[in-house]
Structure 1
């Protein structure tokens, strides 16, 4: 009877359409690498998913290909394509644009998988986090710098490092929670608001500007 159940289970797994099977593998890889790091091997991943290692390689020729799919799902797919447009929409106050962006962004990245894979990528020597940060800088933060420069009312000229400092301070809330396991606010919006207000005031930008 147990053998029949096992055969039925294997048959059910084989009947998954290719697209669903691929997504199942990627979802499992995200959870697996977040837990054990990018050095985790595909043999253990296959065992956890209840499939053969050869099946994994039917969908991903190499482990690096699988990690690339993880990168796309965890990082690139969480960047909303309309953020650059909304961040540069001067019909909305700069403060509100920043608050809207970081409220949405923090909701997407203050998660176990995102934070831990980002950390493990750096330790593993992978290019994932460096590629992501370059993409983020080019697509989101550099246009934002232009908006800060436009709105600044102080003698101090904002530079890219200032934007990274604001960004890093906000992201650190999630790092404290998921990497260091330290107490963090259930709702980070108040901390984000204070960080944004301090940042804008340092360049003489009033809340309504």
Structure 2
């Protein structure tokens, strides 16, 4: 979870188009993580050691570049194997969740990920809403169904928003470790793996009971409406 270095001047060698594009994207990730999204493409180009027209040859607008930054940081770093592992019922649910959050934490608890997410929210970009919608479809509903199955609750109905909120609470607690380190400059637990295991254990002690109550209330409400 160490801080990344500031943007370095680009290599002056002639690069293949795909290499140059990737160099610009990685430079943009580092640049915007350090300075926020008010940083200009002119400043970015200067720090990369290229001209602004060359940058615009690859990305015709700042918005197009920001979309590519979002892809690089939030989409490409998601490991699809996590979803397979979460479904692996040969492994106890608690162990699956601990394994998932340990892998996930290695991706999100870094200088770039945390600061870009915070800057995006402050700037009013849609990074946050897009990513939370992605998490809901890729992880939250999956985790909720596995918890239901583990505790003998119905799995065929839609996942309640309240369930997703409880899972988001666990996600947010883990994300906040990055905020403490990379925004506030405060210490985080020395043994991150142990801390994550403790958070998952506490979550699983409370989540199933709360969800069971919600599903019971939902069923009772449907029965009253049907009557």
Normalization by structure 1: what TM-score? 0.86
Shift of 1:172: 1.2
Kindly indicate whether residue 181 of structure 2 is the aligned counterpart of residue 168 of structure 1: no
User: 1:14 offset after TM fit, Å?
Assistant: 5.8
Alignment RMSD (CA, Å) = 1.9
Instruction: State the shift of 1:149 in Å.
Output: 1.3
Structure 1 gaps of 5+ residues are 1-9, 205-209
Larger relative contact order (CA 8 Å, sep ≥ 6) = 1
Distance (whole Å) between structure 2 residues aligned to residue 14 and residue 182 of structure 1: 40
- Corresponding position: 1:122 with 2:126: no
Check if 1:83 corresponds to 2:82: yes
Work out the CA distance in 2 between the residues paired with 1:32 and 1:123.
17
Shift of 1:153: 6.9
Q: Which ranges in structure 2 are unaligned for 5 or more consecutive residues?
A: 1-9, 154-159, 210-227
Shift of 1:179: 1.2
After the TM superposition, which residues 7-156 of structure 1 pair with which residues of structure 2 at under 5 Å, given as runs? 13=12, 15-152=14-151
Instruction: Give the TM-score taking structure 2 as reference length.
Output: 0.80
The residue that corresponds to 1:189 in the other structure is: 193
User: 2:114·2:175 contact (CA, 8 Å) conserved in 1?
Assistant: no
Q: C-alpha distance in 1, partners of 2:152/2:70? A: 39
C-alpha distance in 2, partners of 1:181/1:127?
A: 26
Which runs of structure 1 show a deviation greater than 2 angstroms over 4 or more consecutive aligned residues?
Answer: none
Tell me the CA shift for residue 13 of structure 1: 2.9
- How many residues are matched? 192
